[in-house]
Amino acid sequence: MKLPSGEQILRKWMVYSHEKKSLFCFCCKLFDKNDNLTTKSSFITGFNSWWKLNPKVSDHENSELHIINLEKWKTLEARLLQNKTIDAAHQDVMEREKKKWRDILHRLLHITLFLAKQNLPIRGHREDFVSENRGDAVKQELICENVEVKELFLGFIPLSGKKADSITQEIVQSLEKDGLDLKLCRSQGYDNATTMSGIHTGVQTRIKEFNPKEIFVPCANHSLNLCGVHAFGSVSVCVTFFGTLESVYTFFSCSTHRWEVLKETVGVTVKRLNDTRWSAHHDAVKPIFKHFEKLVKAVEKLCDASKNLDTRGAAEVLMTNICNFNFLCFLLLWYHILLEVNHAQKHLQIEGISLEKCCEAEKLEDLFSRESRSSGP
């Protein structure tokens, strides 16, 4: 644009599109509210009549529409530079909220690490002035205690590698640092990952090279979980059953209205599955097994024509799946199996558990089962 003084100024509002091979007015394209394409300026839809460029550019530049939109553009630009836009306050609230929850998460992590170092349970605490355990645990006192089979937490070990040889070295060095003689160790226990439990090159095999008397005992709870995972994973109809079970939770949990209908009709809520802890499978099966008829009534309510299309359609599909003969058969089968799994998992977590106590518990369970059968209908 050439001023009367002869000075030339770059038209910053003018942009060129290589894709459409046309000129556009940036501010008018951004702020124009006219939805009628027939009356829109060609600098908004795309100007490419090059033989008319000379008068048309000046005409558009001096038009009322362009001047208004240019003012809006420059005002917005100034507010953005000063951080005084309408959404700046909302953005500030969001950032403060993010910081708040990030700080809460850090606090929870610090609490968890402290409780682990103190060998304390997550639930319950006593931190008054008469507490005997207000500071950091003295590791040496734990190490020097009398011989007794029990579980103690001595600390976290940062691992520099993921292979069995590097993990073994980290374990050995940590024990030596704490003054624990590896030759006096009589057992070792890990989960069932090949790196840890492998019989050829796993950590447990490498530890035995230092001391052959260190008997490897796999984690009983983890082994029980794997039994459950592989038991149902090898049978396709079982996979379908648990998939339907998960869909029940997904259906009700995706809407507050559906969740309220569930609570009002059934009186209890459904749970989701968790492969890490198989007692969660029992928690998922139990409410459906115990309250199946009420669950069907809840789904029937959501099949009503007054409900929206998504809810009604999903409810009808779910109704077909849960009233399936295979689902009902496996609901009965897996309820009784998971009842035993849940009982075993909880018993394995009892403080001071031993082989003797497990045998006693098994005898009592057998006796209870026989009495239940004899007194049954």
pLDDT digits (tens, 9 = 90+) for 337-346: 888 888 887 7
The backbone torsions φ and ψ at residue 103, rounded to the nearest 5 degrees and listed phi first, read -65, -40
CA distances from 185 to 175, 217, 237 (A): 10, 13, 46
- What's the confidence (pLDDT) of residue 377? 37
Strands 187-188 and 22-25: unpaired
Q: Mean pLDDT across the stretch 352-373?
A: 63
Structure tokens at 16: 């060129």
* Residue partners of 263: CB distance under 8 A and separation at least 6: 269
Dist. CA 242–CA 273, nearest whole Å? 8
pLDDT greater at residue 150 or residue 8? 8
Concatenate the DSSP letters of all residues of 163-183 into one string. SHHHHHHHHHHHHHHTT--GG
Dist. CA 298–CA 259, nearest whole Å? 10
pLDDT value at 62 more than 80 = yes
- What's the confidence (pLDDT) of residue 135? 46
Choose from 9-13, 38-42, 315-319, 340-344 the range with maximum mean pLDDT.
315-319
pLDDT value at 367 more than 80 = no
Average model confidence (pLDDT) across the chain? 82
- What's the confidence (pLDDT) of residue 364? 60
Q: What is the dihedral angle through the alpha carbons of 222, 228, 233, 238, rounded to the nearest 10 degrees? A: -160
- What's the confidence (pLDDT) of residue 157? 84
- What's the confidence (pLDDT) of residue 184? 85
Q: Mean pLDDT across the stretch 312-317?
A: 92
pLDDT digits (tens, 9 = 90+) for 74-109: 888 888 777 777 777 777 888 888 999 999 999 989
Q: What is the dihedral angle through the alpha carbons of 273, 124, 219, 195, rounded to the nearest 10 degrees? A: 80
Q: How confident is the model at residue 47 (pLDDT cuts 50, 70, 90)?
A: confident
Spatial contact of 267 and 313, defined as CB atoms under 8 Å apart: no
pLDDT value at 127 more than 70 = no
Dist. CA 38–CA 266, nearest whole Å? 60
Q: What is the dihedral angle through the alpha carbons of 267, 273, 277, 283, rounded to the nearest 10 degrees? A: 20
Q: Which helix (H) or strand (E) holds 288?
A: helix 279-290
Dist. CA 351–CA 227, nearest whole Å? 23
pLDDT digits (tens, 9 = 90+) for 70-79: 888 888 888 8
Structure tokens at 283: 């928690």
Single pTM value for the model: 0.50
Give the single-character DSSP code of 146: P
* Residue partners of 63: CB distance under 8 A and separation at least 6: 41
Dist. CA 162–CA 171, nearest whole Å? 13
Dist. CA 233–CA 225, nearest whole Å? 12
The closest alpha carbon to 291, from 315, 268, 263, belongs to: 268
